[in-house]
Amino acid sequence: MASLKDIKTRIGSTKKTKQITKAMEMVSAAKLNRAQQKATAFIPYTDKIREVVESIAAGSEGVSHPMLEEREEVKKTGYIVITSDRGLCGAYNSGLLRETHRLIEERHSSPDEYGLIVLGRVGLEYFKKRNMPVFQELTAVPDQPEYNDVKNLASASVQMFADGMFDEIYIHYNHFVSAISQKVTEQQLLPLTNMSDKEEGEPKVVQEYIYEPNADEILKGLLPHYAESLIFGALLDSKASEFGARMSAMRSATDNADDLIGELTLSYNRARQAAITQEINEIVGGALAQN
């Protein structure tokens, strides 16, 4: 049985741990609020670009672009995987990496058939440890990222598709559902064959725009930017999910620390009571022996 000193020391260390997890929970809650606002504010931007692209593609005969067309043979698939740089966020990273790994093993029989573009140190270490092909990497992404923070990687990813290095590209990330819920999501980035969020059979309202010089030139400049904005939007969504997951994990850790402190305090009181009772019995026994 542990001594009173050992139990008291453990109570003290658990209280210090509780202070840390409580502080981390509060910090994550504040960051979550900002990240959620930023992710929500970015949605109308991508929606408008998609609307313009759909309008040009639907309203112009003979307009085509390689980013809008599926390739006859898919020789290599790219996966953009967005994880965090740090742990202590529950199953946020493990669930995503497990699902990505499962899909890769299910779809591909050789590392030559796919390539990885990884955002986040946790994902990078996971894939490198398993000798999986990483083509691009980005770590130390700010908690509140700006477009310029990922522009080079996003542009390089789109260029890989344009150059034929990849025949299709998917984004894997945690979609923010609520502060306590995140959903592992796969989104096809390229080719842009299904840009609309409307359900099948739902009528599409096509806006008419006046543009120059011509539809081909507009799509040439707009489509790569749209694809890059999808990557940035997924990153913002993923950041909100990360802070929600970390807040929930730290709250759970704080609650567990409270429970452990209660159990240790009860054990301490019982041990202290037993020690006092033993001392009283020894005193009484000594007094009786003298008589």
CA angle 26, 32, 34 (to 5 degrees): 115
Enter the tokens of residue 11: 């109570």
For 180, list phi and psi in degrees, rounded to 5.
-115, 5
Q: Report in angstroms the alpha-carbon separations of 259 from 185, 256, 266.
A: 35, 5, 11
Q: Is the dihedral of CA 121, 126, 131, 132 positive or negative?
A: negative
Q: Which residues are within 8 A (CB) of 46 and not within 5 positions of it... i.e. 6 or more apart?
A: 226, 229, 230, 233
Enter the tokens of residue 200: 């099948």
Calpha distance 119→276 (Å, rounded)? 59
Which DSSP state fits 66? Answer: G
SS3 assignment, position 208: coil
SS3 assignment, position 142: coil
**Known active-site residue 89:** yes
Enter the tokens of residue 38: 């930023």
38: exposed, middle or buried (Cβ count in 10 Å: 0-12, 13-18, 19+): middle
Active-site choice (67, 89, 119, 158):
89
Catalytic residues: 89
